[in-house]
Amino acid sequence: MAALRSHRRATALAVTAAVLLLGAACGKSDTKGASGSTTSTAKAGGVVADGPVVIQAGINDPAQRAVAVLQYMPAKATVAVGQTVRWTWDGTSEPHSVTFFPPGQSAPSPPGSDPTLFAPTPATGLYDGSTLVNSGLAPQGPGAVPPFEVAFAKPGSYGYSCVIHPQMMGTITVVPVGQAAETAAAVKTRGDQEKGQWLAEGNQALQKLQSAVPVGTKNSTGTTNWKIEMGASTPHTDILAFAPVPANLKHGDKVTFVNNSGAPHTASFFNKQPPIESPSDPAIDKAAPGPSPQTLNSTDLFNTGTLPPDAPPGAGPPEAARSFTFAVPTAGDYQYLCIYHSPSGMAGVIKAS
């Protein structure tokens, strides 16, 4: 951590293209020597750099991992030519990219449909907006994510987005050296304010989802059809939880998972089968052992396949295409999870008596 901090200070003070290149490399490896290279305040065109402007790419609420903010915090920042902007992924379990498209290229539609953008394309020197510059998707798997840094060659407005979350959009406004750029501290303060606002928005939606009365429809045979929501979405967050949990579910009942959220989800029961772990595994999309409805047991693989989001909200595919029903013939506990969002703890258990 100490080495990382001194590295941060070193790159904060360094604003030449040469050092930016070093900064990019620093993301991948420790650079203990870098702190020694700039012991006094470096200047670019006479302006004192007060440190890199830091922007948070998404976050999960540390107290409620199910609340995932899908925003850059802050979404906007004004920096001077040559100033380093650094994006961090600290605290997010959901993958995001920071992607600047050149003129003539735009974000993939549908989101996530271009896997070539999951890999990084770093900037080479100061960025002038004419090429693709892309952090790639991160995090991918456990482990720390190195920050992503860009510094800009000329004044202008530089929009960027996440290749899988279209609601994540940011703008860096670049002004000439000597004009009113924001301090790193001011950007951090605004980022923290936005973070607080979006976390509150998400927690409110989580509470609403979890405190809803479970929907159960009685059949003429005396059994019940239960409905479980696969998450929820707000303008700035995804709620990554299965809720509400049916109380008093009996064997013979049915459970219908429905995706009314803005993200794709699965409900996947691995039982004694090997789990599907990677969202890029084609098996994630495939309903197993076949299309809805299915009858659960405690041995086989059951997977809804990818149930598409209701996107745009209220105007997505018909509810039947976003739903999957399981019959629960035997008492027991049936564990399941969402393959996409299990890193955020999106999992549940059907308890049948």
- Binding-site ranges for Cu ion (CB under 5 A): 265, 338, 340-341, 346
CB of 60 to Cu ion, least distance (A): 13
CB of 94 to Cu ion, least distance (A): 10
Q: Of the two residues 15 and 230, which places its CB atom closer to Cu ion in the complex? A: 230
CB of 264 to Cu ion, least distance (A): 7
Q: Of the two residues 99 and 306, which places its CB atom closer to Cu ion in the complex? A: 306
Q: Would you say the C-alpha torsion 25, 26, 31, 35 has a positive or negative sign? A: positive
Contact 42, 49 (CB under 8 A): yes
Q: Of the two residues 52 and 309, which places its CB atom closer to Cu ion in the complex? A: 309
Q: Of the two residues 73 and 346, which places its CB atom closer to Cu ion in the complex? A: 346
CB of 217 to Cu ion, least distance (A): 24
CA distance linking residue 154 with residue 33, whole number of Å: 30
CA distance linking residue 20 with residue 23, whole number of Å: 5
CB of 121 to Cu ion, least distance (A): 28
Contact 292, 257 (CB under 8 A): no
Is the omega angle on the peptide bond into residue 343 within 30 degrees of 0, that is, cis? Answer: no
CB of 340 to Cu ion, least distance (A): 4
Burial of 126 (0-12, 13-18, 19+ CB in 10 A): middle
CB of 230 to Cu ion, least distance (A): 6
Tokens read off for 325? 């029903």
Can you spell out the DSSP letters for 218-267? E-TTS-EEEEEEEEEE-SSEEEEEEESPPSS--TT-EEEEE--SSS-B--
CB of 68 to Cu ion, least distance (A): 10
Give 17's DSSP letter: H
CA distance linking residue 331 with residue 219, whole number of Å: 19
Q: Of the two residues 322 and 341, which places its CB atom closer to Cu ion in the complex? A: 341
Q: Of the two residues 26 and 67, which places its CB atom closer to Cu ion in the complex? A: 67
CA distances from 17 to 11, 30, 75, 81 (A): 11, 20, 25, 11
CA distance linking residue 340 with residue 346, whole number of Å: 9
- Bridge partners of residue 327, in order along the sequence: 254, 295
* CB neighbour list of residue 289: distance below 8 Å, 6 or more residues apart: 300, 301, 302
Tokens read off for 268? 């996947």
Query: How crowded is the C-beta side of 60, counted as CA atoms within 13 Å?
Result: 21
CB of 298 to Cu ion, least distance (A): 23
Q: Of the two residues 326 and 340, which places its CB atom closer to Cu ion in the complex? A: 340
Q: Of the two residues 127 and 340, which places its CB atom closer to Cu ion in the complex? A: 340
Q: Of the two residues 35 and 259, which places its CB atom closer to Cu ion in the complex? A: 259
Strands of the 268-269 sheet, one edge to the other: 302-303, 268-269, 332-337, 347-352
